[in-house]
Chain A
Amino acid sequence: MKLISCTRGERLKRTTMAAEHNNNALHNGTGLHSDLARKFNKDEDRVDWHDETLWWIRQKRDKITHGIPNWEALREAGSQIKHHTLSNLNEYLVQFEEQCQKNGVTVHWAADAQEHNEIVLSILKKHSVDKIVKSKSMLTEECHLNDYLQHNGVEVVDTDLGERIVQLAGEPPSHIVLPCIHWKKEEIGELFHQFMGTPKGNADPQFLTHAARLNLREKFLTRKIAMTGVNFAVAETGEMVVCTNEGNADMGAHLADVHIACMGMEKLIAKREHLGVFLRLLTRSATGQPITTYSSHFKKPREGQEMHVVIVDNGRSVQLGRESFRNSLKCIRCGACMNTCPVYRRSGGHSYHNAIAGPIGSILAPNLDMKKYADLPFASTLCGSCSNVCPVKIDIHDQLYKWRQEIVKNGYSPKTKTIAMKAMAFTLSSPTRYQIAGKAGRFVLKNMPFAVNNKFNPWYNEREMPAVPKESFTEWYKKNKGGK
C-alpha cells in the first residue's frame, strides 16, 4: 500500500522535522494529542514548513480534481461501490477466498493483529527465513509487525523510501502516504551518512535517493520472502492490486520465492471494473497525480513461487456493526483528509499516537481502544474539510462528533470536564441563572481582569479577552425596545 506524493526527489525536498526530535515523546505513543501538539508547536518555523508542505499537496489535489468535471459523481460512485461491498462483505470475502485458492494462492484469516503477526512468522519459519523485505503496508503498522518480527529474530527492511527513512530513524510513519513528511532533506542526509555512509553534509535529494536505491538493491536481491500490502482486492478474480510510485512492491514480490500480501478485510471490491473508479480517485486525492506510477496486479504465483494472502479483521467487523461509524471502513488510505486538515498540518502525524493519524485515524482508532484514543476525536475543530476531500465521501467530521458522544457516555472523558459541563448546562438551561452568570462574568472581566487574564486561562496565553460592553443586548433591548 505504498504510494508517494511526488517524484522521489521532490519528496525528499519536502520532508520536515528535526532529527533531534526523533527520540522525544512525539512518537512513543505517550501523552495526549493536545500535549504532543503543543510540543510540536514549540518550533513555529517548523510548523509553518510542515503546514506549507502539506498545503502544497492539498493544492495539487485541488488542481487535478478541478480538471475533472464529473469529479463529484466519481466520488459518489466510489462511495456507493464501497457501500455495496461492505453491505455484502461476507459473500465477497468467501468469493475472494475461492478465487485465490483457484489461482494457487494460500489464504489465511486473522482475527486480530496478534494472529496476523503469528501467521506471518509461521510462514517465515516454515522457510527458515530470518530476513525479509516489505513494501509499504499501513496494516502491518497497525499490527506492529516490525516490532513483533524483530523481537522474534527477523530483520525487516522497509523498501518504500519514506518508510525506510523513518525505519532507520526508529520512528513510525507520520503520514499514511508520506511516511517521512516531517523530515527535512538535510536531516535525511545526516541520517544516511550515519547508516549508509554517504558523505557528511550532502543533502542532494537525487544523490540520497540513488544511495538508498543501491543500498536497497542488495536487500531485494538477497531476500527470499517479500511482503506487500494490498490497495484493492478484487472478489471476482482473486487478484490483489498494489499501488506504488517506486515499484518496490513489484521488485520485492518478483524477486522473492515467497510473496506474502496482507490486507484488512475492508480492502475488497466486487469487480475488476470497479478499479476504473478507484484508481482514478486514489492518487488524485492523495497527491494530485493522475495515477500511481505502478498499479500492479498480483493474481497467481509464478512457477515455483509461493503466494500467501493474510486477511485481517482486527476490529473491522466490530466497526462494521457500529451503524454510526461503519462508513469509516470505506477508506482507501489516500491521506487527503490529513493533507487538508488544518490541525494535522500544525500538530504533525505523531501527535495522534496511532498508526493512522489525522481525521481518518481519529475515527478509526477509538474502535480499537476507546480509552487509549479518547483524545483523538477532540483533536478537530469540526471544520468539515476532511469530509469534502474524501474520495469515498466518508462523513468524517460527523463521525468525530459522534465519537465524542460515545467516549463521554462510556466514561472516558476527564472528570473535571464532566463537572464543568454539568455546571455549564445547569447555568444555561435557566434564563435567570444565565443572566446572573453573564452579568457576574462581565463584572469580573471588567473590574477584576487579573482573575481571568492569567496563566490558568488557556485563552489568555496568546489571545486577549474580549472587551466588556456596558450592557448586554438583552439589557439594551429591554431599555430601547420596551421589551418585557
Chain B
Amino acid sequence: MKVGLFIPCYVDQFYPNVAIATLQLLEKHGCEVVFPLKQTCCGQPMANSGYEHLTGGCNENFIDNFDVPVDYIVCPSGSCLLHVKEHLHAETRHEAAKAIRGKLYELTEFLVDVLHVKNLKASFPHKVGVHQSCHGQRGLKISSMTELVAPYFSKPESLLNLVEGIELIELDRKDECCGFGGTFCVAEEAVSAKMGKDRIKDHLKHEAEFITGADMSCLMHLQGILKRQGSKVEVKHIAEILNAG
C-alpha cells in the first residue's frame, strides 16, 4: 500500500517531530510512504479569512505534488485535510483534483478505517487529556459529538487505548473548541486566548500530564498558553504517542 504523506506547512516548519512520528507510524504498519517534497500550504488560512479566491496557486501546487501514483494521501491534521477535501479544485485539472480528494485521510481515520489497527507496540505511562479538534471531529467525523443524539465513538481514543500504560482522563467539557481558529487566534485574540485558557483549566483540573490531539494547530495554541503559564504540562500530537516506545 502506497501512501502519500501530506504535511501541513506549520508542522513542516515548527513540528518536524510530529511529521517524523507520522511517517514512522505508517511505515511500522506496512505502508510504503512517499513525501512529495514541494508541498507548501493547503490554502486554508486565506480561505477561512474570506480569500478563497487567492488559493488557486496553493491548489495548483497541491495537485502538482499529489497527482502521483499513491493509493492514499494521509495527513496528521484534520483541519488542513478537511480544507483540501472540501475546497481543492483547479480550472483545468478537475479530474486530478477529484481523484486526490477521494484519496484523502486524516491519520487516525486512516489507521482505524483503512489499516484496521488493533495492536500498537507503544507505551506512554502518563495521564493524558484528549483535545477533540473541531474540524476533525465535526468536519471529518472522526468521533461522535456531544450535541448529537448518536452512539459514542472516537477513532483517536480507540487508538490511544491500545497504548500501554496510558491513562485517559475525563474532561468536564468533552468537545469544546480551544479557540485557535486559524487567523481567529490573532484577529479575535482576547476571546481566542480565553478559550484556550479555559480548555487548559479543564485538563489541569483532571490532572492531565499531557494534552494530545489529532491537530497540531490547536495544540500549538494550547502549548503557547501552557508555556506562558509556566506549566509543566506538555502537548503531544497523537502520532507521537502512538509511535512512542
In the bound complex, residues from chain A placing their C-beta under 8 Å from that of B46 are 421, 424-425, 428
Cα A347 to Cα B61 with chains together (Å): 39
Least CB distance from A428 to B in Å reads 4
A369 CB–B CB distance under 8 Å? no
What is the interface size of chain B, counting residues whose CB is below 8 A from a CB of the partner? Answer: 75
In the bound complex, residues from chain A placing their C-beta under 8 Å from that of B56 are 429
Contact residues of B with A, CB < 8 Å?
7, 9, 11-17, 19-20, 23, 35, 37-41, 43, 45-58, 60-61, 134-135, 138-139, 145-150, 173, 175-177, 179-182, 184-198, 220-221, 223-225, 227-228
Cα A347 to Cα B185 with chains together (Å): 14
- Is B35 a contact of A389 with CB atoms below 8 Å? no
Which residue of B has the minimal Cβ distance to A471?
B16
- Is A382 a contact of B51 with CB atoms below 8 Å? no
- Is B198 a contact of A343 with CB atoms below 8 Å? no
- Is A379 a contact of B20 with CB atoms below 8 Å? no
In the bound complex, residues from chain A placing their C-beta under 8 Å from that of B148 are 72, 388
Least CB distance from B4 to A in Å reads 13
- Is B224 a contact of A388 with CB atoms below 8 Å? no
Q: A342-B176, A389-B147 are in contact. List 18 more A-B contacts (CB 8 A).
A: A44-B194, A51-B198, A55-B173, A62-B147, A346-B198, A381-B179, A382-B48, A385-B177, A388-B147, A404-B50, A425-B57, A428-B57, A462-B225, A463-B221, A466-B220, A467-B14, A474-B37, A477-B23
Given contacts A425-B54, A428-B58, contact A340 B147 (CB under 8 A): yes
| Residue-wise interface mask of A (141-184) relative to B, using a CB-CB cutoff of 8 A (1 in contact, 0 not) | 00000000000000000000000000000000000000000000
Least CB distance from B202 to A in Å reads 11
- Is B20 a contact of A476 with CB atoms below 8 Å? yes
Least CB distance from A348 to B in Å reads 10
CB within 8 Å of B: which A411-430 residues: 413, 417-418, 421-422, 424-426, 428-430
- Is A464 a contact of B134 with CB atoms below 8 Å? no
Given contacts A66-B149, A462-B228, A474-B12, contact A431 B20 (CB under 8 A): no
- Is B190 a contact of A469 with CB atoms below 8 Å? no
What is the interface size of chain A, counting residues whose CB is below 8 A from a CB of the partner? Answer: 79
Q: Which one of B16, B61, B177 contacts A472 once the chains associate, using CB atoms below 8 Å?
A: B16
Q: Which one of B20, B181, B189 contacts A458 once the chains associate, using CB atoms below 8 Å?
A: B189
Cα A481 to Cα B7 with chains together (Å): 15
- Is A429 a contact of B60 with CB atoms below 8 Å? yes
Can you list 14 residue pairs at the A/B interface with Cβ under 8 Å? A41-B191, A55-B173, A343-B191, A380-B184, A385-B138, A385-B177, A401-B48, A459-B185, A459-B189, A463-B193, A463-B227, A464-B223, A469-B16, A474-B37
| Residue-wise interface mask of A (444-484) relative to B, using a CB-CB cutoff of 8 A (1 in contact, 0 not) | 00000000000001110111111111011111111001011
Given contacts A41-B191, A342-B195, A382-B134, contact A431 B61 (CB under 8 A): yes
Cα A461 to Cα B135 with chains together (Å): 26
Q: Which one of B14, B50, B138, B187 contacts A405 once the chains associate, using CB atoms below 8 Å?
A: B50
- Is A442 a contact of B191 with CB atoms below 8 Å? no
A22 CB–B CB distance under 8 Å? no
The SS class assigned to the B binding surface is: helix
A89 CB–B CB distance under 8 Å? no
In the bound complex, residues from chain B placing their C-beta under 8 Å from that of A430 are 40, 57, 61
| Residue-wise interface mask of A (28-59) relative to B, using a CB-CB cutoff of 8 A (1 in contact, 0 not) | 00000110011001001001100100010000
Cα A247 to Cα B100 with chains together (Å): 58
Given contacts A381-B184, A405-B52, contact A461 B17 (CB under 8 A): no
- Is A442 a contact of B13 with CB atoms below 8 Å? yes
Given contacts A382-B48, A388-B138, contact A346 B39 (CB under 8 A): no
Q: Which one of A65, A342, A461, A465 contacts B193 once the chains associate, using CB atoms below 8 Å?
A: A461
- Is A381 a contact of B224 with CB atoms below 8 Å? no
Which residue of B has the minimal Cβ distance to A386?
B147
- Is B190 a contact of A342 with CB atoms below 8 Å? no
Which residue of A has the minimal Cβ distance to B186?
A458
CB within 8 Å of B: which A67-104 residues: 68-69, 71-72
- Is B40 a contact of A477 with CB atoms below 8 Å? no
10 closest Cβ pairs, A-B complex: A429-B57, A463-B224, A381-B181, A404-B50, A408-B50, A388-B147, A384-B138, A431-B38, A383-B177, A473-B19
Least CB distance from A381 to B in Å reads 3
Least CB distance from A414 to B in Å reads 10
Cα A429 to Cα B139 with chains together (Å): 25
Given contacts A431-B61, A464-B228, A466-B224, contact A346 B173 (CB under 8 A): no
In the bound complex, residues from chain A placing their C-beta under 8 Å from that of B13 are 438, 441-442, 472
- Is A478 a contact of B227 with CB atoms below 8 Å? no
Give the one of B40, B145, B187, B195 with max A CB within 10 A. B40
Which residue of B has the minimal Cβ distance to A38?
B190
Cα A428 to Cα B9 with chains together (Å): 9
A434 CB–B CB distance under 8 Å? yes
Give the one of B35, B46, B149, B150 with max A CB within 10 A. B149
Q: Which one of B17, B39, B53, B220 contacts A431 once the chains associate, using CB atoms below 8 Å?
A: B39
Give the one of A38, A431, A468 with max B CB within 10 A. A431
Cα A464 to Cα B56 with chains together (Å): 32
- Is B188 a contact of A425 with CB atoms below 8 Å? no
Least CB distance from B111 to A in Å reads 20
Least CB distance from B132 to A in Å reads 10
In the bound complex, residues from chain B placing their C-beta under 8 Å from that of A62 are 146-147
Which residue of A has the minimal Cβ distance to B150?
A72
Cα A97 to Cα B56 with chains together (Å): 50
A196 CB–B CB distance under 8 Å? no
Cα A466 to Cα B225 with chains together (Å): 10
Which residue of B has the minimal Cβ distance to A461?
B189
A302 CB–B CB distance under 8 Å? no
Cα A389 to Cα B189 with chains together (Å): 26
Given contacts A430-B61, A474-B12, contact A409 B180 (CB under 8 A): no
Cα A405 to Cα B194 with chains together (Å): 27
Cα A47 to Cα B93 with chains together (Å): 49
Least CB distance from B157 to A in Å reads 19
A294 CB–B CB distance under 8 Å? no
Given contacts A41-B191, A441-B13, A483-B37, contact A404 B48 (CB under 8 A): yes
In the bound complex, residues from chain B placing their C-beta under 8 Å from that of A409 are 53
In the bound complex, residues from chain A placing their C-beta under 8 Å from that of B191 are 34, 37, 41, 343, 346-347, 379
Cα A41 to Cα B194 with chains together (Å): 8
Least CB distance from A481 to B in Å reads 7
Cα A389 to Cα B146 with chains together (Å): 10
In the bound complex, residues from chain B placing their C-beta under 8 Å from that of A408 are 49-51, 53
In the bound complex, residues from chain A placing their C-beta under 8 Å from that of B189 are 34, 38, 458-459, 461-462
A407 CB–B CB distance under 8 Å? yes
